[in-house]
Amino acid sequence: MGQPGLVAVDWGTTSLRGALLDGTGRVLEEKSAPLGILNVPDSDFAGVFSAQFAEWRTSGRLCLMSGMIGSRQGWREAPYAPCPAGLADVAQRLRWIEPGRVAIVPGLSIEQDGVPDVMRGEEVQIFGALRLTGLSDGQFVLPGTHSKWVTVRGGKVVGFRTFMTGEVYGLLTQHSILARTTEAGAPLDEGKFLEGVGRARHGSGLLHEAFGARALALFERLPPPQSASYLSGLLIGDELRAQALGGDVVLIGAPALTMRYALALRHAGVATRTLGTEATWAGLMALHAAMGGPT
């Protein structure tokens, strides 16, 4: 564990990504494959791991893996760390595959109003964002299939809420009546997107406003290419309606999604900064440092 460098792995549901980091956290090499946990032949996680990363695992390098690889469907379940949780709390709950050599990072859990909420992988991105920005407090948003709104205080995740925004968008545009009048792959129309954001934040509720997209199409006031942007705005706007927006927000994720959230938040008067995949590698390096490795 004292050897320089780290093999950092982000193993999700549909994809597998890895990075070889030097002792300072600089990325030396990256690779990816469509070998998410649901695509691993015969659930041979050990075989896939060896095939993908054996050449990097020289000189006793530690490997840390985050994401759905630690779920019940993954290689080995890594039980959630309860919030509030910081790097030290997560480091204490690593699930070791090879003691001292290969470990899975646990996700986080929280219970609010009698209902639990969970994350896997996003916690590493948040710790990476703290490392990259120098922040110890703030609000972080991770857009995606299941978007996360996360509050950090004193370097610890103290609260978060999950929204099924991306999944609901897919359901509405592919399997609902809106699929007939929505061109889901159309380029973003910023005007219609922001119109949807505003309608959601100040309208009569998502279920009603979503049907409004259908009615607008029937009266030829919302063409299919624009309908996708309007519906996306409705869903993201509904997320914003549920938040107590205050200071700046840090967005973490793919550019196509973080751009939409930045537009919506700017429309609401909130400044943002954006990070991408680098947050994952920075987070795993921060965890390595918390374990006593190089910083």
Could you give the 3-state DSSP secondary structure of residue 232?
Answer: helix
Please tell me whether residues 48 and 125 are part of one structural domain.
Answer: yes
Residue 278: how many CB atoms within 10 A of its CB? 17
Which pLDDT score is estimated for 61? 92
Please tell me whether residues 65 and 118 are part of one structural domain.
Answer: yes
Which pLDDT score is estimated for 1? 40
Answer whether 141's CB lies under 8 Å from 295's CB: no
Which pLDDT score is estimated for 294? 62
Please tell me whether residues 83 and 201 are part of one structural domain.
Answer: no
Structure tokens belonging to residue 263: 């537009």
Total-model pTM: 0.94
Which pLDDT score is estimated for 2? 42
Please tell me whether residues 201 and 250 are part of one structural domain.
Answer: yes
Please tell me whether residues 23 and 93 are part of one structural domain.
Answer: yes
> Is 15 within the bounds of a domain?
yes
Please tell me whether residues 32 and 127 are part of one structural domain.
Answer: yes
What CATH number should be reported for the domain holding residue 25?
3.30.420.300
Q: What is the mean pLDDT of residues 55-67?
A: 92
Please tell me whether residues 129 and 167 are part of one structural domain.
Answer: no
What percent of the chain lies above the pLDDT cut of 70? 98
> Is 156 within the bounds of a domain?
no
Please count the structural domains in the chain: 2
Please tell me whether residues 100 and 199 are part of one structural domain.
Answer: no
Amino acid at 276: G
> Is 230 within the bounds of a domain?
yes
> Is 223 within the bounds of a domain?
yes
> Is 63 within the bounds of a domain?
yes
For residue 149, the cross-strand partners are: 141, 161
d(CA 194, CA 179): 21
> Is 23 within the bounds of a domain?
yes
Please tell me whether residues 83 and 168 are part of one structural domain.
Answer: no
Please tell me whether residues 212 and 253 are part of one structural domain.
Answer: yes
> Is 173 within the bounds of a domain?
yes
d(CA 16, CA 132): 23
Per-residue pLDDT reduced to its tens digit, 217-252:
999 999 999 999 999 999 999 999 999 888 899 999
Please tell me whether residues 206 and 263 are part of one structural domain.
Answer: yes
CA 169 to chain centroid, in Å, comes to 16
Domain that holds residue 121: 6-133+284-290
pLDDT at residue 284 tops 70: yes
**Mean pLDDT over each residue of the chain, to the nearest integer:** 95
Which pLDDT score is estimated for 295? 54
Q: What is the mean pLDDT of residues 70-98?
A: 97
Please tell me whether residues 81 and 119 are part of one structural domain.
Answer: yes
Per-residue pLDDT reduced to its tens digit, 193-219:
999 999 999 989 999 999 999 999 999
> Is 146 within the bounds of a domain?
no
What CATH number should be reported for the domain holding residue 218?
3.30.420.310
Per-residue pLDDT reduced to its tens digit, 247-274:
899 999 999 999 999 999 999 999 999 9
